[in-house]
Chains A and B, each alone.
Chain A
Amino acid sequence: MISLYLAQRTWLHGVPAGWKLLALALLSLIAAPLDSLPVMAGLLAAVLLLYASLGKAALAQIALLRPLWPLFAILLAFHWWNGDVAAGLVVLARILAMVLLANAVTMTTRMDAMMDAVEPLLAPLAWFGGSPRAVALAVAMMIRFVPLLFALWEALNESWRARTGKRGGWRLLAPFCIQTLRLSHHTAEALAARGGAPRGTRR
C-alpha cells in the first residue's frame, strides 16, 4: 500500500506521536478564530519552513495538495464575488497551513506509533463492555481486507472483460458485494474458531 509516511528519518520523526498530536490540536484551536492576514501568512510561512527543515522528500509531499486547487479557486471566487478578497486569502492561508501541518504529523509518525498514542483515549470503551483490543483487531482486519477486495474486484473485472471486451464498471458492484459478504462470513467463522474477538473485562 502506498503510504504517506516518509521513510527517510527527520528530526520530527524523533518527537513522540502524542506530543505531535497535542501540538497539532492546540495550534488548530488557536488558528481557527484568528482573522489577520499577516498572522496567517506568517503561520503558513512557518509551516513551509518546517517542511524545508525536513528535507526534499517532505517538500515533494506538498504536491499532495494538488487535488485541492479547484476547491481553493472556487472559495476565492466566492470571496471575490462578495468583495472581500482579503478574507478569502486569510481562509486559504489557514487551510493550507493546517492541512500541511497535519500532514507533517502523518508524514513523520508510523501508523503503529499513532495507534499507541491514541490507545489511552480508547480506554473508556471498557466501561461499555467494549475493548480497545477489538478496535485494534478491526483496524488490522480492515487494512488486510483492502488488498483482498482489490484482487476480488480485479478478478470480476477480468471475467467481465473476457465475456464482453469492455470494462465492467458499476455493473460489477452487486456481484462484488455478494462475494465480499461471503468472504466476511468465512472470516467471521475463522475468527470464532480461534476464540473470537477480544471482549471487554465485563462479561
Chain B
Amino acid sequence: MKDRNLVQVALYAAIFAVLGLLPRFDLPFAAGVPITAQSMGAMLAGVMLGAWRGALAMVLLLFVVALGAPLLAGGRGGLGVFFTPSVGFIFGWIAVAFVAGWLMQALRKAPVFPAALISAVIGGIVVMYAFGIAGLALVGGLSVMDATKACLIFIPGDAIKAVLVALIAQTVARGLPEALLSRNA
C-alpha cells in the first residue's frame, strides 16, 4: 500500500504542475484578472488524497520547485519564487491541501459534491487567503487591511475553482470510486 501512496503523492504534485503549464482556462466572468488553474491543484490534492497525502504532495511539489524546476504557473520556479510577495500563497498550498483533505475525511458520510465543495471553499479560500494575506503583508510591508484589499479581486476566480473541484470529485466518485482515497482510507 505504501508504494501506491508514494505514487499518488507524486501524481498529484505532477497534476498541480500540469495545471500551471496549461494555457489559461477561459473563466467567463473573471476576464481580465489573470487566473491560473494552479491553486486548484492544491484543493484537488486535499480533496482526493486526504489530509496527509495531500499535504505531502504539495511539500513534494515545492521541494522540486526549490530544486530549480520551473513548474509554477507561467514557467516560474527555482528559489526565486520563495522571495516574492506571493510566498504566503505558495506555502499556503500545503495547508490548503491538509485542511481540505481533513474536512473531506471528516465529512465522509456526507454526499460527495457538498462535502467536496465545503472542503474546497474552506481549504482553498479561507485557509489560502489567510496564508496569502499574511505573506503579502510581511514581504510587501503592507498592513493586513491593505494586503486583504489587494487580494480581494482573486476570490471570485477561486470560488469558481472550488466548484470545479467539487464537480471533479463527484465525477471521479462515480467513475472510479476507489480513487477518492480521502473516502476509503
Contacts and interface: CB of A to CB of B under 8 A. Distances in A.
Size category of the A interface is 35 or more
Interface stretch (B74-82, B93-101, B105-113, B117-125): B74-82
Interface stretch (A7-15, A52-60, A96-104): A96-104
A103 B79 contact: yes
A13 to B, nearest CB: 13
Given A95-B139, A102-B82, A78 B150 contact: yes
Contacts of A174: 167-168, 171-172, 175
B69 A111 contact: yes
Contact of A192 (B3, B60, B146): B3
Nearest to B24: A169
Chain A binding surface, main DSSP class: helix
A182 B25 CA distance: 25
Contact of A177 (B21, B44, B80): B44
A106 B168 contact: no
Nearest to B143: A82
The 4 closest A-B pairs by CB, nearest first: A106-B78, A145-B14, A174-B171, A102-B79
A3 B68 contact: yes
A187 B79 contact: no
Contacts of B48: 177
